[in-house]
Amino acid sequence: MKRFYVTMAFTVAAFAFAAAQLPAYRNASLPLEERVEDALSRMTLQEKIGVIHAQSKFSSAGVPRLGIPELWMTDGPHGIRPEVLWDEWDQAGWTNDSCMAFPALTALAATWNPDMALLYGRSIGEEARYRKKDVLLGPGVNIYRTPLNGRNFEYMGEDPYLASRMVVPYIKGVQQNGVAACVKHYALNNEETLRHQYNVVVDDRTLYEIYLPAFKAAVTEGGAWAIMPAYNLYRNEHAAQNKRLLNDILRGEWQFDGVAISDWGAVHDTRSSITQGVDMEFGTWTDGLSMGKTNAYDAYYLAQPYMELIEKGEYTTRELDDKVRRVLRLALRTAMDAGKPLGSMNSPEHAEAARRIAGEGIVLLKNDGGVLPVDLSRKPTIVVVGENAVKMMTVGGGSSSLKVRYEISPLDGLRKQVSTQGTVKYVRGYVGDVGGSYNGVQSGQDLNDSRTADELIAEAVEAARSADYVIFVGGLNKSEHQDCEGADRTELGLPYAQDRLISALAKVNPRMVVVNISGNAVAMPWINQVPAVLQGWYLGSEAGNALADVLIGKVNPSGRLPFTFPVKLEDAGIAPMPQLQHPADTVDVVYEEGLFVGYRGMDKRRVKALFPFGHGLSYTTFAYGKPVLDKKKMTADDTLTLTLTLTNTGTREGEEVVQLYIGDKKSSLPRPAKELKAFRKVKLAAGESREISFTIDRAALSYFDDNAHRWVAEPGAFEAIIAASADDVKAKVPFTLE
C-alpha cells in the first residue's frame, strides 16, 4: 500500500510536469481566453484566413502545424445528416451513417415540456458526438408568422415565450456532449419563397417583442456556442452581413462570444463581411474539386479576397483576429475538448426518447363522443386510409432530410399494437407524392398508383362502411410547396382531393378519426362531420409507435398547439408575399400586422380560430380552482405569486398544461389583449389535486419602448389570466403595478 501511494504521487507529479510543458492553448487547466490568445499569437496570416471559411461542403480547415483540428458541421435539427461527398450534396456511400430521427421541432414545441427539450437535445447531441461532429446546425426558432411558410415544421411555433423556454434546454442538452448548437435562422426568416431576396420591414417593438426573444434566450440563457444568420435581408442588408443584427444586437447587447456561421450561400461580398458579418463562411456555391490545380474554396469572400485586402493595407488584422478568436473558442469547446463524452448512435435509449417526445407532442384536437381511445376490448375492425399512413416522412423537406436506420409507419405501428386484439386493414384513399429520394437517400418505397381520385375514394368508402373504426392518415408531406425548405405552400387547404375523401368517409362511418400529419396548420372544411382529430406532426423514426400509443390509449395525449389553426387563410391576417418585378431585384416585405401575430392577432381582430394556440384535449378531465394572488399591488422591484389548485376529475392519469397570460388593461402604446408569460405541465393521477404557483415579475408586464430602446413596465391596471388555451380562459385576476 505504501508503494502504491508513492506511485500515485509520482504519477500526479508527472502529469503536472507534462501539462506545464504544453503550449498554453493545449493546456486544458488554463482559462479558455488565455488559451485562445495563445493559439492566436502562434498563427500566420494564411492560417487565420484558412480557419474562417469552408474547405468542403461541411468542414472548415484546422491548423495542422499547431495540432488544431478541422471543424465538422452537420445538418439537424431533427437528426444527424448522412455523410455527403467532399464537395457535393450526393451521398458518400457510407453504410454506417444511418441515424435516429427525432420528431420535428413543431412536435417538440407541442409538448410544452422543457424536460422533453433537454432530453431531445441530449439525445441528438450524443448522436452528433458519436459521428464526430462539432457543430449541430440547429435548433430553429423563427416565429410562425404565416401558415404558408414551408419551413415552419423546423421551428417552435408562434409565441416568443414558448419558443424561448423550449430552446434553452435543447441547447444545453446538445452542448453537454461537446457539440455546439447553432441556433437558426437569425433573424426574421419567416417565409421561404424568395428567401434570398426579400427585405423585411419591421418596427423595433415588433422585432424585440416577437422575433428576437427566442434568439436572445438561446444566447444569454442557453449559452449557445454558434448562431446561423438567415438568408433574407433586414434594413436592406443581408442577415449574414448585417450590422444591426450581428454587431449591435448579437455581439453588443447580448455579448455573444460564439461563432456566427453563414448559411450555405448566404454571404454576398467581402467588405461588409469583414466589418459586420459572419465569422465563418460556408457554401458559397463553388466546386472545389474540378478546377484543376486551384481550390475554389480559396475564392470565397472571406478567403483569398480578404487576405489580399489585408496585404494591400486596406484592412488590418483587427477584424480577422476577432473572427479567429471566435473560431478558436469554438474549437476548444468542441473538437479540442479532451473531456467530451464519446456519444452513442441508434441506442435503445434514443429510440425510447424519440417515442416519448413524439407521444407527448401529439395533440388531440377533437374527440366528440369519446371516440378515442380505440376500444380494443371489442376486437374491432379498423380500416386505415391514406397515403401518409405508409409514406416515409424522414426523407425530403430540405436540409433536415435524413437517412434513418428505420422508420415505423402509422400503419405498421397500429398493426403491431392491435394485431392480437383486432384487425387492421389498409386502403390507399389518395395518391400524393410518390417520390422517395433526396440528395441520394432513397426511401425504397414504390407508391405509384394509376387509379383516379374517384376510384380511390370509392374503394375507401366501401371498405369503411362495415368497419368499427376508420382512421384516416393524411395531411401534408415534405415535397415542394408543402412542408419543405426553399418554397412556401400555395394554399391552406389539403392537397390531393383529401377534403372530398374525408367527407365521403364520414358519411358512411360515424366512428372516424382524422390524423393530420403536417408541420403547419391546415384548413378543415369537414371539421363538423368527423368526431375525432389528432395533430400528428412529423414524428421521426418512432412515428407509428407513438401514434398507435395515443390512438389505443396507451399514452394519454397531452400535447398542446404551439400555433393557431385559422379557419381560413385570411384569418391569419398576413398580407401575401409581394412579387418580384425582375429576378435580380429585392422586394420589401412589410410586417404590417406588427405585434399581432398568431393568437395576438386573432384577439385583436376578434376572429375565432379553428383551433387556438395552446389547445389540446385529454382522455381525462381537469378542474381549475380559483386563482389567488398573494397581494393586489406590486412595485417595480417586487413580484406577485399566483396560486391555484388543479384537479384531475377523470378516471385515468393525465397531464394538463396550465397557461398564464398577462393583459395590460391600459397602456400608452397598443398591446395585445393577452400574452403568454408562464406555463406549467402537470401530471395528476385520477382524482389527484395539486397546488400550482406562478411568479409574476416586472419582465412579465413589460413592453419594448422603441424610442427609449428599453423595456418598460407602465404603472397601472393588469390582469393575470389563467387558461387552458388562448381561447379557453378559466379565470382572470386583476392587480396593479404602482
pLDDT in tens, 307-338: 999 999 999 999 999 999 999 999 999 999 99
In the prediction, which pLDDT does 220 show? 98
Which residues belong to the active site? 263
Q: Is the peptide bond before 531 cis (omega within 30 degrees of 0)?
A: no
Three-state SS string over 557-602 comes to CCCCCCCCECCCHHHHCCCCCCCCCCCCCCEEEECCCCCCCCHHHH
> Torsions phi, psi of 141, nearest 5?
-135, 25
**Sequence letter at residue 367:** N
In the prediction, which pLDDT does 291 show? 44
The structural domains of the chain, with segments of one domain joined by +, span 1-30, 348-561, 620-737
> d(Cα 42, Cα 474) in Å, to the nearest integer?
59
| Residue owning grid cell 500566420 | 44
Helix, strand, coil % over all residues of the chain, rounded to 5:
30, 20, 45
Beta strand pairing status for 237-238 and 469-475?
unpaired
> Torsions phi, psi of 582, nearest 5?
-145, 140
Max CA separation in the chain (angstroms): 88
Q: Is the peptide bond before 160 cis (omega within 30 degrees of 0)?
A: no
pTM, two decimals, is 0.96
Instruction: Give which of 495, 425, 430 is closest to 456, Cα–Cα.
Output: 430
Instruction: Give which of 517, 392, 386, 390 is closest to 443, Cα–Cα.
Output: 392
Q: Identify the CATH class of 348-561.
A: alpha beta
| Residue owning grid cell 451513417 | 97
CB neighbours of 222 closer than 8 A, spacing ≥ 6? 167, 168, 169, 170, 171, 172, 181, 183
In the prediction, which pLDDT does 25 show? 97
Count of residues in the chain:
738
Question: What's the grid cell of residue 635?
Answer: 412595485
**Which of the residues in the chain have pLDDT under 70?**
1-20, 286-294
The distance from CA 357 to its chain's CA centroid, rounded to whole angstroms, is 13
Q: Where are the alpha helices (DSSP H) in 597-733?
A: 599-605
SS3 label, residue 284: coil
620-737 topology per CATH: Immunoglobulin-like (2.60.40)
Beta strand pairing status for 381-385 and 469-475?
parallel
Question: What's the grid cell of residue 544?
Answer: 407509428
> d(Cα 158, Cα 519) in Å, to the nearest integer?
12
Can you state the angle between helices 32-41 and 318-333, rounded to 10 degrees?
A: 130
Q: Report DSSP letters for 241-267, one per residue.
A: G-IIIIIIIIIIIS---SEEB--TT--
| DSSP letter, residue 443 | -
